[in-house]
Structure 1
Amino acid sequence: MQKAEFLTRFHSAPPLQPVPDHPLRKSGRSAAVLIPVVTHDNALSVLFTERAKHLKHHPGQVSFPGGKYEPGDPDLAFTAKREAWEEIALPDSHIAIVGQLPPYRTISGFAMTAFVATVEPGFDLIPDGNEVSDTFEVPLSFLIDPRNYQTEYITRAGHTYPVYFIPWQNKMIWGATAALMNSLASIFTDNA
């Protein structure tokens, strides 16, 4: 799939339904992530980060660049781009936000907004070792194929929720990151 087809399919899709998430007693702390779809000459890929192993929360887990909303941020799209710069030096000049997914609440108490963006190559990623240990890309064609997802179910407070897993080479994409990717992939499943 090329960039033009991706954009057409993304913008012409019916509104996405919210992904089943965790009920929060409070509204949740605002956070934002960027789903960076990198536009290579021959195909698209999605850029992921691997969190530093020394972190207190979610060490070593695969994630999208992002983090919590700061009072100086004008909006959540700014938060996502600011965090992408801070975590992996993804320059704003290479990012074009094309839309967002429905809000997703995490078990760790965040109300997260995921911004889908196309990213033009031509820069060097520099992971901030305090937050990120690695970056890697996965072909979009792999991520939109439902056969590449595994689902387990957990029950909390009498409600059952899906937990998605996407094995990729020696990495495991799971939890909120896989749920958001699954939501985005649902737009393209008839092409898988």
Structure 2
Amino acid sequence: MSDPLAPVLAALARPGRPSSDYDLNPGVFLPDNRVLRPAAVLVAFEATRDGLQLYLTKRSSHLKHHPGQIAFPGGKQEPEDSGPIDAALREAQEEIGLPPGNLEILGTLEAHETVTSFNVTPVVARIHTPFTPIPEAGEVEEVFTVPFAHIANPANFRVERRRWRGTWRSYYVAPFGPYYIWGATARMLRALGDRMVE
């Protein structure tokens, strides 16, 4: 029986390129001396009867930053974290109740620079056994899954734009049902998808 995560493992074995929120906005000038804060997110897959599923969250609508947006479990790297993998595991346990012992780390994608000055490392992992997500009440409104087939298909991504800080900004979106997956989350998923077809 083949490993349902074989396409992901093959993608991780291929070389990738760093990504950023500015990829679709080539006219933006980024100074070389800018300071980026380290952060990490968990790209966690689970094999189910319905196929391979990816876990995402909907952020609380009461949050000051990015309210109601779709995101991976994750956040900034704290001093006590040994690195991005440690940060991603800690955040996933805090935000959705996913125990680190129920995960197999498969690898990482190249870091993604956000417009909010974070350098985010996507940590890719396999969930070994089914678990019941426990959303962190103050930060996570909902935990849901998206079929791997949806994010692996480049045709499900499109480019949209909106005004941000007085200028037009273009970004990827990959809507799924009622969930509007966009911005950094969509860009990191697109980076994984690109490595699958290269």
The answer to whether residue 88 in structure 2 is matched with residue 80 in structure 1 is yes
Superposition TM-score, scaled by structure 1 size:
0.88
In the superposition, relative to structure 1, how do residues 136 and 65 fare at CA in structure 2: closer, same or farther (>3 Å)? Answer: same
Mapped contact 1:49–1:134 kept (Cα < 8 A): yes
Paired letter, 1:99 = G
SS of residue in 1 equivalent to 2:81: coil
> Aligned pair count?
188
Paired letter, 1:52 = S
Residues 32-41 or 129-138, more deviating: 32-41
- State the alpha-carbon separation in 2 of the partners of residues 42 and 156 from structure 1: 39
- State the alpha-carbon separation in 2 of the partners of residues 4 and 143 from structure 1: 14
Residues 23-32 or 114-123, more deviating: 23-32
| Partner residue, 1:115 | 123
The one of 140, 144, 150 aligned to 2:152: 144
Unaligned runs of 5+ in 2: 23-29
Listed as ranges, the matches of 1:1-192 within 5 Å are 2-13=3-14, 15-22=15-22, 23=30, 26-41=34-49, 43-152=51-160, 162-189=170-197
In the superposition, relative to structure 1, how do residues 32 and 20 fare at CA in structure 2: closer, same or farther (>3 Å)? Answer: closer
Cα deviations by residue, 1:120-167 (Å, 9 ceiling, x for unpaired): 23221100110100011111011111111111357999xx97510011
SS of residue in 2 equivalent to 1:36: strand
Cα deviations by residue, 1:149-191 (Å, 9 ceiling, x for unpaired): 111357999xx9751001100110000000000001112237x
- State the alpha-carbon separation in 1 of the partners of residues 164 and 99 from structure 2: 40
Cα deviations by residue, 1:13-49 (Å, 9 ceiling, x for unpaired): 2x11122444365221111001111122452111100
Superposition TM-score, scaled by structure 2 size:
0.85
1:11 CA displacement: 4.0
Unaligned runs of 5+ in 1: none
Mapped contact 2:12–2:108 kept (Cα < 8 A): no
- State the alpha-carbon separation in 1 of the partners of residues 88 and 174 from structure 2: 23
- State the alpha-carbon separation in 1 of the partners of residues 179 and 186 from structure 2: 12
Identity %: 34
- State the alpha-carbon separation in 1 of the partners of residues 126 and 11 from structure 2: 11
- State the alpha-carbon separation in 1 of the partners of residues 111 and 51 from structure 2: 28
